[in-house]
Structure 1
Amino acid sequence: MMQSIPLSLYIHTPWCVQKCPYCDFNSHNIKQTPEYSDYIDHLLVDLHHDLLLAGNRSIHSIFIGGGTPSLFSAELINRLLSAIQREIPFEKDAEITIEANPNSADANHFAGYINAGINRISIGVQSFQADKLDKLGRVHNPQDAINAAKLANSLPLRSFNLDLMHGLPNQSLNDALFDLQQAIDLAPPHLSWYQLTIEPNTLFGSKPPKLPDEDLLWDIYQQGHQLLTANGYEQYETSAYAKAGLQCQHNLNYWRFGDYLGIGCGAHGKLTQPNGQIIRTIKTRHPKGYMAGRYLEKSYVVPQEELPFEFFMNQFRLHEPTPKLRFMQTTQLPLSIIEPQIKQALDQQYITEDNDYWYLTEKGKLYLNSLLELFL
């Protein structure tokens, strides 16, 4: 049964030129030039260990995230991807994404990534306004972002994404819509448009900036959503919009409760076993420990009683029908085990159903947390 579950690969690069004050990802400021080549070697050993849990499957998609992966040269990315493909085959037309900062975008750099096998680039723009970028601690300027998007659009990529935030400190409705219109004008096939949230263990967490109030946030979302829809973007996930057929396949596999290997500092993995158990892996967070060969921080079997919540927590992020067969395939559980919770969800009009699918209602989207609590 595990052979029918797609297998993705996430690769984490831990270094940034400067840590952003809102960021709670596992990233570390560069204090001295890291041994990037050595890190690639460790990634490959880490992968080799994890392949014992992956079964005889091919790689469906790869996402190189961070941190700032575009600090790595095209030659290193080529060495990494070539070595991975010698270890495990890639599906035909596998989506392979790398995250990039706008100020790292130049024609040779991006062309080198494409020659290495990258076919999708995700550009961390966040805003097109200098004062907002400064407040967010970004190291690029608005023109860098525009140039990077234009470059990506000119290259033979399958797709590219722009990451854009809203709900920024002192942001007005007009500010937010200006950013969104600027992004739309650059014609990315995919837009990640998400609200800034204050996370603990960040600089913003200890010194919170003044953010827009709830009414303004709602106006930004509603009018922004209308603008995106009017320009041919379909919302397929809570914070993601794409032109037809250009959704991020890697993220879709996450939300559809597929499997993924996670290598690199702090990376997480989810791997279904032949006996139906699901193993989660968590890698050592700090580069020093990781590059000393201590890759695995923790692995555990997800308790069976937690699987329904985990499945729906992921699946209901997507604005698509949920196949009942997918629940059975990915959790190895019968539908009867969630019959009482499904009845409650139907009674409270959070979902509707037919023989094959569950459908999230508008009420279900609005009260998603209440819906998910039924499965705890």
Structure 2
Amino acid sequence: MPLIAPPLSLYVHMPWCVKKCPYCDFNSHGVKGEPPPYAEYVHVLLADLDADLRDFGSAALGRPVQSIFFGGGTPSLFAPELIDRFLDGVRERLPLADATEVTLETNPGTVEHGRFDGYLAAGVNRLSFGIQSFDDDKLRRLGRIHSASEAEAAVKSAQDAGYANINLDLMYALPQQTLEGAQADVTRAIALQPTHISHYQLTLEPNTAFAANPPPLPDDDHAWAMQEACEAQLAAAGYGQYEISAYAQVERRCVHNLNYWRFGDYLGIGAGAHGKLTRTENGTVHRRWKTRHPKAYLAAAGNAGRIGGDGPVAVDELPFEYMLNALRLIDGVPLADFSERTGIPMERIASALASARERGWLIEDTERLQTTALGQRFLNDVISSFLD
């Protein structure tokens, strides 16, 4: 079946942070000694974008960019004028959709008074705060550099600067956390009236300090109790769950993440950034990722050495990759999107669909792909059932 090019986003990875957190498995590098070359990095980001646009041609050009996301690391280590310079460069190279969502991740411990005005003026219209908890003891255990009061002050400062679209990241099932403690974090988050809350379970990821020396975490039953109780709190406060870990006020769902989950396209620039592009000219879904270490990425300066891996996704892997994203959405996706975005006829997954429905994991709907409440709880099993 012919592929149809989906919406396009842009992901920008900023790899530095003040200190690496013990649970973090992202491509982030603590700042040591001399300050990182922030201005040079912005220059190289634009060279990386230029090279990707040359390499991908029509697959990357022509479609307006729906969203831009600065992730990290800690993007708020970059001064507003550098973010402004980069966004100006993007506007010169790519068309932007009306009201393009532009998100910048920020650490409450790195913000400086007055910076939010600068980010807003540069074109950043959405902020995502890595709060994680409002309990100072839990923040210390997580290796965070901010306190609960600093987190609250940073959010209020952003709101005073004019930000009307703010996400707060919260974790639950933290070391020695109680159900009451998890609910207290949600209560304090809601009190700040953000438009979006990401609420996800702390997990021990390989190659992290926590994986090497695991802290005492709540067991699965206690973690599930926290999830259910906090979901109810968020719903009562007007935050609708639209993805396994995402809750939003009306009309405030994250455009960028929705594009990921709907198997949309995105250019990925920056050290360790991943991208995905639909190449309708040859009928493939293409993935490319950049070399991880900032020094190697900077040394490549937009040349071939910036690429850490490259190539089409194998057809046998596409059903799993698609479901890995789409099944996270609480409301699901139109079933027709599967063939349009993978090029694979529905007959290829008919058996897996039938089996998942028989197990009660998917709703009985021939036009929609959507998990049941049971399917959401056992999501990894549901997704794995689509492995060839």
Cα offset, 1:158, TM superposition: 4.6
Q: Which residue of 2 aligns with 1:90?
A: 96
> 2:143, 2:201 → 1: CA distance?
16
Q: Which residue of 1 aligns with 2:372?
A: 361
Amino acid in structure 2 at the alignment position of 1:286: H
> 2:354, 2:360 → 1: CA distance?
10
Task: Kindly provide the CA deviation profile for residues 190-240 of structure 1, in whole angstroms up to 9, marking residues without a partner as x.
Answer: 001111111111111111111112222122111111111111111111111
Q: Secondary structure at 1:148's aligned position in 2?
A: helix
Task: Kindly provide the CA deviation profile for residues 92-151 of structure 1, in whole angstroms up to 9, marking residues without a partner as x.
Answer: 111000001112334520110010000000011111111111111111111110011112
Q: Secondary structure at 1:82's aligned position in 2?
A: helix
Cα offset, 1:3, TM superposition: 6.4
- Compare 348-357 and 204-213 and name the one that shifted more: 348-357
> 1:135, 1:208 → 2: CA distance?
11
Q: Which residue of 1 aligns with 2:145?
A: 139
- Compare 338-347 and 102-111 and name the one that shifted more: 102-111
Q: Which residue of 1 aligns with 2:289?
A: 282
Cα offset, 1:155, TM superposition: 3.5
Return 5+ residue gaps in structure 1 as ranges.
none
> 1:3, 1:96 → 2: CA distance?
25
After superposition, residues 159-198 of structure 1 pair within 5 angstroms as 159-198=165-204
Counterpart among 326, 332, 350 of residue 321 in structure 1:
332
> 1:214, 1:278 → 2: CA distance?
36
Q: Which residue of 1 aligns with 2:222?
A: 216
Q: For the Cα contact (< 8 Å) 1:39–1:291, is it kept in 2?
A: yes
Q: For the Cα contact (< 8 Å) 1:153–1:188, is it kept in 2?
A: no
Q: For the Cα contact (< 8 Å) 2:23–2:208, is it kept in 1?
A: yes
Identity %: 47
Amino acid in structure 2 at the alignment position of 1:113: Y
Superposed CA RMSD in Å reads 1.4
- Compare 319-328 and 224-233 and name the one that shifted more: 319-328
Amino acid in structure 2 at the alignment position of 1:230: A
> 2:3, 2:121 → 1: CA distance?
32
Which one has more relative contact order, counting CA pairs under 8 Å at least 6 apart? 2
Q: For the Cα contact (< 8 Å) 1:103–1:144, is it kept in 2?
A: yes
- Compare 213-222 and 68-77 and name the one that shifted more: 213-222
Q: Which residue of 2 aligns with 1:347?
A: 358
Q: Which residue of 2 aligns with 1:126?
A: 132
Amino acid in structure 2 at the alignment position of 1:358: L
> 1:3, 1:305 → 2: CA distance?
19
Amino acid in structure 2 at the alignment position of 1:320: D
Please tell me whether residue 271 in structure 1 is matched to residue 271 in structure 2: no
Please tell me whether residue 374 in structure 1 is matched to residue 377 in structure 2: no
- Compare 316-325 and 343-352 and name the one that shifted more: 343-352
Q: For the Cα contact (< 8 Å) 1:280–1:301, is it kept in 2?
A: yes
Q: Secondary structure at 2:131's aligned position in 1?
A: strand
Amino acid in structure 2 at the alignment position of 1:375: F
Q: Which residue of 1 aligns with 2:264?
A: 258
Q: Secondary structure at 1:103's aligned position in 2?
A: coil
Cα offset, 1:29, TM superposition: 1.2
> 1:204, 1:358 → 2: CA distance?
36
Cα offset, 1:283, TM superposition: 0.4
Count of residues in correspondence between the two structures: 376
> 2:201, 2:100 → 1: CA distance?
29
Amino acid in structure 2 at the alignment position of 1:352: I
Amino acid in structure 2 at the alignment position of 1:159: N
Q: Which residue of 2 aligns with 1:72?
A: 78
After superposition, residues 106-125 of structure 1 pair within 5 angstroms as 106-125=112-131
Task: Kindly provide the CA deviation profile for residues 2-35 of structure 1, in whole angstroms up to 9, marking residues without a partner as x.
Answer: 6640111110011111111111100111122111
Cα offset, 1:73, TM superposition: 0.3
Q: For the Cα contact (< 8 Å) 2:28–2:72, is it kept in 1?
A: yes
Q: Secondary structure at 1:84's aligned position in 2?
A: helix
Return 5+ residue gaps in structure 2 as ranges.
none
Q: Which residue of 2 aligns with 1:26?
A: 27
- Compare 224-233 and 359-368 and name the one that shifted more: 359-368
Distance 1:57-1:2 versus aligned 2 partners, 3 A rule: farther
Q: For the Cα contact (< 8 Å) 1:283–1:298, is it kept in 2?
A: yes
Task: Kindly provide the CA deviation profile for residues 228-280 of structure 1, in whole angstroms up to 9, marking residues without a partner as x.
Answer: 11111111111111111101110000000000110001000001102220110
Q: Which residue of 2 aligns with 1:17?
A: 18
> 2:222, 2:151 → 1: CA distance?
26
